[in-house]
Structure 1
Amino acid sequence: MANKNVKVGLVQLSCSGDVAENMKKTIVGIREAAAKGAQVVVLQELFRSLYFCDVEDYENFNLAEAIPGPSTDTLGEIAKELGVVIVASLFEKRAEGLYHNTTAVLDADGSYLGKYRKMHIPDDPGYYEKFYFTPGDLGYKVFKTKFATIGVLICWDQWYPEAARITALKGADFLVYPTAIGWAKSQDDATNEEQYGAWQTIQRSHAVANGIPVVSVNRTGEEAEMQFWGGSFVANPFGRVVYKAPHLEEEIHVEELDLTGSDRYRTHWPFLRDRRIDSYEPITKRFLDED
C-alpha cells in the first residue's frame, strides 16, 4: 500500500446559549483548522447550543432542524470553499415529534454525503437524552470522502466495542467520536481522573482491537452543574495517545494520521484473522440467563 496520510482537525470549544454565535465561532474554528492544514475537520457533539440534555424541557425541541437543512447548507459552503471534509453533530428533527442525535458528513466539494444517527442513547443524571432522542435506525455507517473512509459514531456509542467493531468491519480508515461529556462540579479530583481515564481507555481499546486510529472530540467549558472535560485526543492503531487536548481550554489542533499503519498493526497483531465468528451468536442476546 502506498503512503496514505490524512490531516484531521479537532475543534474543541465551549458553547453559549446563542445558536448563531456558536455557529459563527465553530466556523472560525473550522477555518483555523484548515489554515493549519486539516483535510478533515471533526466538530464536537451538538456544537450549535449548550448541552440541553441536562434537563427535560420541551422548549429545547425548538433547537432541532432538518438534516440536510440549514446547518448542512452553511457547512457545505464552508467545506467547498476550504476544500475540507466536515463531520458535524446536529440535533435532527426527522418529523413532528420525532428527533435524533445525528452527525452529518460534508465532503470536500461541499456535497452532503449522508448522516449517522446515534444508536446508544443514555439516560443518566445530567444526560437525559432519552427524553429527546429516538435511537438511530440507519445502522452503523462509514462515509467515503475525498481523503479517507470515515467511521462515525457519537458519544455514548464510545462505550460499546460492538459499535466500533462493526464500523471498522465496514471499512473505516479511522473512527471519529463527536462528544459532550463532563464532570459534575461537586465531584472530587480522584473521581474526575478515574472517569476521564475510563473514557479514554475504552476508546483506545477500540483502536487496538480494530487496528485503526480513533479521533475523539469533546467540548469544554462550564454549563449549569457540569464542567465539560475537553481532553479531546487521537490514538494510533495500537492505542497510543499521539495527541491530547487540555481539559479546561479551547483548542484547535490538527493531527496527521498515517493510514498505512493499520495494515502493519493488523498483520503483526492479527485480531481480525483470529476472530471466531462462528462462536459469537450469544452477543445478540440481552443477557445469558442460566437454564
Structure 2
Amino acid sequence: MSEPSPEVVLGLIQMSCVEEPRRNVEKAVEKARQAASDGAQIVCLQELFPSLYFCQTNDPKFFDLAEPVPGPTSELLGKLAKELGVAIVASLFERDGRDYYNTACVLDADGSFLGKYRKVHIPDDPRNYYSELFYFKPGNLGIKPFATKFAKVGVQVCWDQWFPEGARSLALQGAEIIFYPTAIGWQVVGQEELGKAEYQAWETVQRGHAISNTVFVAATNRTGREDHLNFWGGSFVADPLGRVLKRASHDREENLIVPVDLKTLAEVRKDWPFLTCRRTEEYSL
C-alpha cells in the first residue's frame, strides 16, 4: 500500500433527522456523495445518524432501532465508501445478542470494515434528557486507532469527549486525527447563558485534546430541534495548536469540508513534545 498523502480532506456531515430511519440514511448517503464530490477523503457522520436522538426518554420500543454491526447499514456504507473512494466513520445503535451499544464503525476507501469502537462513557442524566444508560452498555472493545488509506484515525463518541483518557490513549497509539461523532444541544426550556457556556465548554475541551495530544480533532454534531433538545450543530475541526480551522453553523445542515496537513503534527511536536515528556511513574494514585 502506498504511503498516505500528508494532506487529507475531512468531510463532516452535520444534519437534522426525522422519525423514519430510511430517510435519514438516504440523506446521509446523499450528503456523503456531495462531500466526496467536494473533495472529502474521510467522511464522518454524527452520533446515531439513522434516527432521532431517542435517548431523551426511556422507552423499550426504541430497541427495535438497533442492528448488528457489521450489519445492513454498515454494509451499505462500505459499498458507498468503495464507490466513492473515501473512508467513512459512522455511529450506529448496535445489537449484539441481548446487549446493546452505542457504536462507531470505520469503513475504508476499498469498502473494507476496519473495525468498531463502542462508546465507553455512557451518560445517565434523564433530568437533562440524556438517558443513554437505559439503552447502552458501556463499551468493552478498548480504545484503538484504525489505519485508513488516508490517515490513522481514532474515534470517540459524544460523552467520551469530556474525558481526556481516550484521546491520550489514541494519540499514544499513533492516531493522527480523532473523530467525535456527537449529539448534543441546548434544552428548549433552559437558561440561555448557561447553554452558551456549555457550548463553549464543549468546543474548548476538545480543542484542549488537540493541543495536549498534538492531534487533529474533528467533531460532527447534529442540528435541529428534537423534543426537549435543540441540537447546537457547531461541528468543527481543530489543529494541534487548538486553532479552529473551520466551524459549522448552529442552526442548519452543512457539509464541513476541511483539508488538514498531517505534516503539522511532526512540526508541532518538535516544539511541544508533550507525549514524550510524560512522567508516568509519577502519576499513580
Equivalent residue for 2:22?
20
Hey, what's the Cα distance between the residues in 1 that align with 2:4 and 2:181?
29
TM-score, reference length from structure 2: 0.97
TM-score, reference length from structure 1: 0.95
Deviation at 1:9, TM superposition (A): 0.2
Matched, 1:70 2:72: yes
Specify every segment of 5 or more residues in structure 2 that has no aligned partner in the other structure, as ranges. Answer: none
Hey, what's the Cα distance between the residues in 2 that align with 1:3 and 1:178?
24
Q: Is the 8 Å Cα contact of residues 211 and 237 (structure 1) preserved in structure 2?
A: yes
Query: For 1:48-96, what per-residue CA distance to the aligned partner results, in whole angstroms no more than 9, with x for missing partners?
Result: 0000000000000000000000001110111010000000000000112
Equivalent residue for 1:52?
54
Equivalent residue for 1:238?
241
Specify every segment of 5 or more residues in structure 1 that has no aligned partner in the other structure, as ranges. Answer: 283-291
Q: 2:114 corresponds to which letter in structure 1?
A: L
2:172 counterpart (159, 169, 174):
169
Q: Is the 8 Å Cα contact of residues 3 and 260 (structure 1) preserved in structure 2?
A: no
Matched, 1:212 2:215: yes
SS in 2 for 1:237: coil
Q: 1:119 corresponds to which letter in structure 2?
A: V
1:198 counterpart (196, 201, 205):
201
Deviation at 1:190, TM superposition (A): 1.5
Pairwise CA RMSD: 1.2
1:152 counterpart (155, 159, 166):
155
Q: Is the 8 Å Cα contact of residues 9 and 260 (structure 2) preserved in structure 1?
A: yes
Q: Is the 8 Å Cα contact of residues 230 and 248 (structure 1) preserved in structure 2?
A: yes
Q: How does 1:24-39 map to 2 (within 5 A)?
A: 24-39=26-41
Deviation at 1:165, TM superposition (A): 0.3
Equivalent residue for 1:121?
122
2:88 counterpart (63, 86, 89):
86
SS in 2 for 1:102: strand
Number of residue pairs matched by the alignment: 281
Deviation at 1:281, TM superposition (A): 2.1
Structure 1 ranges of 4+ moved more than 2 A? none
Q: Is the 8 Å Cα contact of residues 10 and 254 (structure 1) preserved in structure 2?
A: yes
Equivalent residue for 2:109?
108
User: Percent identity between the aligned chains?
Assistant: 52
Deviation at 1:253, TM superposition (A): 1.7
Q: Is the 8 Å Cα contact of residues 213 and 236 (structure 1) preserved in structure 2?
A: yes
Hey, what's the Cα distance between the residues in 2 that align with 1:164 and 1:173?
11
Hey, what's the Cα distance between the residues in 2 that align with 1:58 and 1:264?
50
Query: For 1:102-154, what per-residue CA distance to the aligned partner results, in whole angstroms no more than 9, with x for missing partners?
Result: 00110001111110000000011201000010000111021001111001110
